[in-house]
Amino acid sequence: MISEKKLNSKQRKGEVKPLNSNEAVAEAVKDADVDVVAAYPITPQTIVVETLAELIGNGELNAEMIHVESEHSALSAVIGASAVGARVFTATASQGLALMHEVLHITSGLRLPVVMSVAMRALSAPISIFNDQSDIMNQRNTGWITIIASSAQEAYDSILQAYKIAENPKVLLPVMVSYDGYVLSHTIERVETVGKSVVEEYIPKKVTWNTLDVKDPITMGTITSPEYYYEFKYAQERALEESLSVIKSADEEFERLYGRSYGIIEGYKIEDAEVALLATSSYYTNLKVATDLARKEGLKVGTIKLRVFRPFPREELYSMIKDLQVLGVIDRAIAFGQKPSGPIANDIASALQYKKDKPIIQSIIAGIGQRRMLIEDFVKLYRMLVKNMNEKKFYEESIFYGVKGIEF
């Protein structure tokens, strides 16, 4: 969560700017002193690279901007730059992220510390330029650390933390920082920036990964025989699992320096709750308001924000939810052909399978293609979950909330 504590004498107050999440990401990339940017425009992320081009053009960021013909090429270009030791960045959304799919695997397999922002957007067909989280959920098995931000401030801070995490010698994996398209990418918020001193204080530039050097040549990405391929993939899996401790320490160090932290997951009024709703990104703010309204009706409810999606924080989540009776999990993506149909609900169900004390998991699909979800909709969900808990009535399948003609 964002720390509400006053800064101590060792923490430095930054400059406050009015920024949307796209601009906040670009500001963080500038402050991280990135060497190479390559990206292809796609709504709703285009503002990120437009802002970066402006920052490079006016001399505020000394970086090489590589103009490419597709997102596949954008990620390929930053792979090449990272492989020779550059600090790199790219950004995308929706179909652009889908087009990167092949290269996402190559990036994580090469263990390169690439950082990318994703302004989350629905996938075609039919064509939708609006928000849901189908794009990043489709990439959940590509080996990238995935952080989901819930404000412009968190997007800015998470990009800086992403370099801290990715370049840690114990990790050396790419990091994706995502946030809701339009809802956050185009909404102006108060953002406190750290400035370029962050490079000296928090993320000093040091090449910690294997690079291509003509004076000390190595080979990257060659064909690998069955005798060795499995071990490469196992090492990649272990690095992703063990990165959780590095993510925590990066967040803690950031708080010590700048007074803000977010943790892995966050709970609101969860301590005495019987029922909770879990969601990500922009939904969390409205869910906290809905929680307060539902509690005025006498409902013992709370809410949880999942910030780190990969690696999935199984033990941290279990510790927070083990005393609940019911956990409603709101997904804004559909795992087609699977029951329940929510990707995060499936992750949680899998994480809890060997636990004795655990809540009933009710999967809820909502907000697909940015179908509107108001605070009163979240209150309705609370009422429904409490009613079902009292009547011991639950749905094995996902509840598709908000679909025209379907009532629960």
Residue 4 has pLDDT above 50, yes or no: no
Which tokens go with 148? 């989901």
Q: Work out the average pLDDT over 62-82.
A: 98
Q: Work out the average pLDDT over 280-308.
A: 98
Task: Indicate if the alpha-carbon torsion angle 376, 147, 87, 106 is positive or negative.
Answer: negative
pLDDT of residue 407: 80
Which tokens go with 100? 């990167």
Per-chain mean pLDDT for the chain: 96
Q: Specify the 3-state DSSP secondary structure of 26.
A: helix
- Which segments within 240-374 are labelled E, that is strand? 265-268, 275-279, 301-306, 308-310, 326-331, 360-365
Please state which CATH class domain 265-401 belongs to: alpha beta
| φ, ψ (nearest 5 deg) of residue 210 | -65, 135
> The pTM is what?
0.96
CB distance 131 to 181 below 8 Å: yes
Closest by CA to 301, choosing from 389, 395, 402, is 389
Task: Indicate if the alpha-carbon torsion angle 273, 277, 278, 282 is positive or negative.
Answer: negative
- Which segments within 181-307 are labelled E, that is strand? 189-193, 265-268, 275-279, 301-306
Break the chain into its structural domains and give their ranges. 15-258, 265-401
pLDDT of residue 343: 98
pLDDT tens-digit series, residues 162-186: 999 999 999 999 999 999 999 999 9
Q: How confident is the model at residue 406 (pLDDT cuts 50, 70, 90)?
A: confident
Q: Work out the average pLDDT over 71-99.
A: 98
Closest by CA to 14, choosing from 195, 161, 259, 155, is 195
Q: Which CATH superfamily is domain 15-258 in?
A: Thiamin diphosphate (ThDP)-binding fold, Pyr/PP domains (3.40.50.970)
pLDDT tens-digit series, residues 5-16: 555 555 667 899
Q: Provide the 10 A C-beta neighbour count for residue 298.
A: 8
**Residue 402 to residue 86: CA distance in whole angstroms:** 46
